[in-house]
Amino acid sequence: MALLECRNVSRHFGGLRALSGLDLSLEQGEVVGLIGPNGAGKTTVFNVITGVFPPTEGEVLLEGRVLNGLKPYRITQLGIARTFQNIRLFREMSVLHNVMAAMHPRCGYGLVDALLRTARFGRREREMRDEALALLERMNLADRAHDKAGSLPYGDQRRLEIARALATHPKVLLLDEPAAGMNPAEVDELVELIRGIAGDFGLTVLLIEHQMGLVMNLCERLVVLDFGEVIAKGTPGEIQRNPRVLEAYLGKGVV
Amino acid sequence: MRKEMLLPAAAVALLYLVLALLRQAGVIGIYWGQIVDLALITTIQAVGLSLIYGFAGQFSLGHAAFYGLGAYVAAFITRTQGGTPLTFALALLAGAAVAGIVALIIGLPILRLRSDYLGIATLGFGIIVKVMLDNADKLSPVLGGARGMAGIPRLTTFHWVFWLAVLTILIARNLVNSSHGRSCIAVREDEVAADIMGIDTTQFKTLAFVMGCAMAGLAGGLYAHLYSFLHPSSFDFLKSFDVLLVVVLGGLGSLTGTVVTSIGWVFLLEGLRDVLGQQFLDWRWVVYALILIAVMIARPQGLMGGKELSLDMLLRRRAARGGADHGAA
Number of H helices, E strands in chain A: 10, 10
SS3 A7: strand
Min distance A236 CA to chain B CA atoms (Å): 30
pLDDT, residue B268, reads 87
Which chain A residues are closer than 8 Å to B313 by Cβ? none
pLDDT, residue A254, reads 54
Supply angle C-alpha B86, B62, B252, rounded to 5: 95
Judge whether A125 is closer than 8 Å to chain B, CB to CB.
yes
Give the closest residue to A200 by CA, choosing from A145, A134, A144, A143.
Answer: A134
Closest Cα in chain B to A97 = B182
Q: Which of A50, A121, A124 sits opposite B196 (nearest CB)?
A: A50
Please give the Cα distance from B237 to B129 (Å, whole number). Answer: 9
pLDDT, residue B328, reads 35
Q: Which of A162-176, A235-249, B74-88, B176-190 has the lowest mean pLDDT?
A: A235-249
pLDDT, residue B264, reads 93
Judge whether A62 is closer than 8 Å to chain B, CB to CB.
no
Which chain A residues are closer than 8 Å to B199 by Cβ? 73, 101, 104-105
Q: Which of B186, B192, B253 sits opposite A101 (nearest CB)?
A: B186
The three state secondary structure string of A18-67 is EEEEEEEEECCCCEEEEECCCCCCHHHHHHHHCCCCCCCEEEEEECCEEC
Interface contact flag, A93 B186, Cβ < 8 Å: yes
Size of interface A-B (CB pairs under 8 A): 102
Min distance B193 CA to chain A CA atoms (Å): 6
Phi, psi of A25 (to 5 degrees): -140, 135
> Which stretch of DSSP H or E encloses residue B282?
none
pLDDT, residue B133, reads 95
Which chain B residues are closer than 8 Å to A128 by Cβ? 179
Judge whether A89 is closer than 8 Å to chain B, CB to CB.
yes
pLDDT, residue A246, reads 85
pLDDT, residue B72, reads 97
Percent pLDDT > 90 in chain A is 82
DSSP letters spanning B108-165: HHHTTSSSTHHHHHHHHHHHHHHHHHHTGGGT-GGG-GGG-B--------HHHHHHHH
DSSP letters spanning A116-180: HT-HHHHHHHHHHHHHHHHHHHHTT-GGGTTSBGGGS-HHHHHHHHHHHHHTT--SEEEEESTTT
The three state secondary structure string of B156-194 is CCHHHHHHHHHHHHHHHHHHHCCHHHHHHHHHHHCHHHH
Interface contact flag, B179 A92, Cβ < 8 Å: no
Which chain B residues are closer than 8 Å to A115 by Cβ? 171, 174-175, 178
Min distance B6 CA to chain A CA atoms (Å): 15
Please give the Cα distance from A249 to A227 (Å, whole number). Answer: 12
Mutate to test the interface with A, among B113, B191, B196 (most CBs of A within 10 A): B196
State the average pLDDT for chain A: 93
Please give the Cα distance from A249 to B244 (Å, whole number). Answer: 53
Judge whether residue A170 has pLDDT over 80: yes
Q: Which of B178, B198, B329 sits opposite A121 (nearest CB)?
A: B178
Judge whether residue A138 has pLDDT over 80: yes
Judge whether A43 is closer than 8 Å to chain B, CB to CB.
no
> Could you tell me the domains of chain A?
4-79+170-250 (3.40.50.300)
Judge whether A34 is closer than 8 Å to chain B, CB to CB.
no
Q: What is the mean pLDDT of residues A132-144?
A: 95
pLDDT, residue A183, reads 86
Q: Which of A107, A125, A164 sits opposite B197 (nearest CB)?
A: A164
Q: What is the mean pLDDT of residues A190-201?
A: 92
Mutate to test the interface with A, among B3, B197, B202, B254 (most CBs of A within 10 A): B197
Closest Cα in chain A to B307 = A92
What is the distance in angstroms between the CA of the first residue and the CA of the last residue of chain B?
A: 23
Q: What is the mean pLDDT of residues A50-79?
A: 95
Tens-level pLDDT at each residue, chain B (329 residues): 566 778 889 999 999 999 999 998 988 888 899 999 999 999 999 999 999 999 999 999 999 999 999 999 999 999 999 889 999 999 999 999 999 999 999 999 999 887 778 999 999 999 999 999 999 999 899 999 899 999 999 999 999 999 999 999 999 999 999 999 999 999 999 999 999 999 999 999 999 999 999 999 999 999 999 999 999 999 988 889 889 989 999 999 999 999 999 999 999 888 888 877 777 777 877 887 888 888 888 888 888 877 888 776 766 666 665 544 343 33
DSSP letters spanning B176-245: HTSHHHHHHHHHHH-HHHHHHTT--HHHHHHHHHHHHHHHHHHHHHHHHHHHS-B-GGGGSHHHHHHHHH
Judge whether A175 is closer than 8 Å to chain B, CB to CB.
no
Which chain B residues are closer than 8 Å to A146 by Cβ? 329
What is the band of A205 on the pLDDT scale with cuts at 50, 70, 90? very high
Which chain B residues are closer than 8 Å to A71 by Cβ? 195, 200
Chain B residues at the A interface, defined by Cβ less than 8 Å, are 171, 174-175, 178-183, 185-186, 189-190, 192-201, 207, 253, 306, 329
Question: Residue B303 in contact with residue B295, Cβ under 8 Å?
Answer: yes
